[in-house]
Amino acid sequence: MLVVMDAGARPEQIEAVVRHIEKMGLKAHPIPGANRTAIGITGAQRTADPEVLENFPGVKEVIRVSHGYKLVSREAKPDDTIVSVGGVDVGGRGIVVIGGPCAVESLDQTRTIAQGIKRAGGQLLRGGAYKPRTSPYSFQGLGERGLEILARVREEFDLPIITEAIDEGSLKLVVQYADCIQIGARNMQNFALLKAAGRTRTPVLLKRGMSATLEELLLSAEYVMSEGNYAVILCERGVRTFADHTRNTLDLSIVPAIKRTSHLPVLVDPSHGTGKRNKVLPMSRAAIAVGCDGVLIEVHHKPEEALSDGPQAILPEDFAQLVRECDAIGQVVGRTLQPALAAS
């Protein structure tokens, strides 16, 4: 259920509704929007009576939400959410181009790549310290040492960092070091991890599961938000289909579908979405054209030596070209490249 307040509702009127909801043993989520505040109600919906709520001063209407997700929906918040990742806005009119290695391998490797990202105008650095690999014998990441490297490189280049947490143990460390927690495709329905990320106040980048529907993705985001963390960014990264000319099938049509249903920002990852270096630039162009809020790109200065996902990593100089083209296409669809943080 959603309680939509009048545009001019006073803070004490919002507070009175929140107190009433909590007195019923439910959870209230005030969601301020550009024109009005809505209050999402979650919990075991047993006793919230819409007629009682409707009569509170300042309440415009009470909407019964029939689908399972509430806080992620446009009904809860008609205007687009902007998530600040270490001072860089994701969502709104700006677009972001995020780059970095699949895995943090060493300080030298991460520095070299980060330098290329910054020079090219990329605003955020990605890189995994904890890698969920299909084979137990593949490189699993440097763990906390990888997080230390990312934090050091962030200071050097003023590039906020996004890195994956694969379980509750790694999550605790990731929030100490990173500006944004990535939850990967394989963990999109790890509900304990989603709830734990929801209890933090660090932004979450939630990647679509390999066979997840739009509704399942939104429900996973709802898990995070239902715990009080409203800074969620969604990411399309390709799904499994019969097509075998690419690693996955990048489902760009989910971008307008999400935009219609949800206020959350959406990124596209054409690296995992295609698995092939030569498809990353064309699919990035298409992703920006279709209306996403930015792209997440794997970059490596020596892809043939990369410890994971080398075949889909592009070179730093190709990343620079990609940033230029995303900027140009963004302008056609009324977007502007988000400025990178100034060097301090």
> Footprint of ligand PEP on this chain (CB under 6 A)?
102, 128, 132, 184-186, 207, 237, 269, 272
Q: Which two tokens stand for residue 198?
A: 């929801």
Closer Cβ to ligand PEP, 75 or 236, answer by number: 236
Please give the C-alpha separations between residue 275 and each of 47, 287, 314, in angstroms, as whole numbers.
50, 16, 11
Name, in order, each residue with C-beta under 8 angstroms of 284's C-beta and a sequence gap of 6 or more. 268, 270, 295, 297, 322, 325, 326
Cα dist from 27 to 122, 124, 230, whole Å: 39, 34, 14
Look at residue 207 and give the partner it binds from Mn ion, ligand PEP, none, a contact being a CB closer than 5 to 8 Å depending on partner kind: ligand PEP
The partner in contact with residue 185, picked from Mn ion, ligand PEP, none with C-beta cut-offs of 5 to 8 angstroms by kind, is ligand PEP
Residue 259's binding partner among Mn ion, ligand PEP, none (Cβ under 5 to 8 angstroms by kind) is none
**Closest CB 294 distance from ligand PEP, rounded Å:** 14
- Name 300's Cβ contacts closer than 8 Å, sequence gap at least 6: 101, 102, 109, 113, 306, 310, 313, 314, 315
> At 222, is the secondary structure helix, strand, or coil?
helix
Shortest Å, Cβ 180 to ligand PEP: 12
Query: Between 20 and 126, whose beta carbon lies closer to Mn ion?
Result: 126
Measured CA to CA in angstroms, residue 121 lies from 181, 202, 320, 325 at distances of: 22, 24, 7, 12
Nearer to Mn ion among residue 80 and residue 298 (C-beta): 298
CB-wise, 77 or 247, nearer to Mn ion? 247
Q: Which residue is nearest to Mn ion (CB)?
A: 102
Residues facing residue 337 across a β-bridge: 95
Of the candidates 205, 97, 233, the one whose C-alpha atom is nearest the C-alpha of residue 159 is 97
| Beta carbon nearer to ligand PEP, 129 or 337 | 129
Pick the closer one to Mn ion by CB: 6 or 251: 251
Q: How far is the CB of 38 from ligand PEP (least distance, A)?
A: 31
Q: Which is nearer to ligand PEP, 28 or 85 (CB)?
A: 85
Least Å from the CB of residue 140 to ligand PEP = 12
Shortest separation between residue 264's beta carbon and ligand PEP, angstroms: 17
* Closest residue to ligand PEP using C-beta atoms: 184
Contact 114, 125 (CB under 8 A): yes
Nearer to Mn ion, 70 or 126 (CB): 126
Would you list the DSSP string of 20-77?
Answer: HHHHTT-EEEEEE-SS-EEEEEES--SS--HHHHHTSTTEEEEE---SS--TTBTTT-
DSSP per residue over 231-291, as a string? -EEEEE--B--S--SSSSB--TTHHHHHHHHB-S-EEE-HHHHH--HHHHHHHHHHHHHTT
Beta carbon of residue 79, minimum distance to ligand PEP (angstroms, whole number): 28
Tokens 């819409």 -> residue: 50
Residues that bind Mn ion (CB under 5 A): 102, 309
Question: Whole-number minimum distance, CB 126 to ligand PEP, in Å?
Answer: 7
Place of tokens 């030596």: 305
Smallest distance, Å, CB 71 to ligand PEP? 23
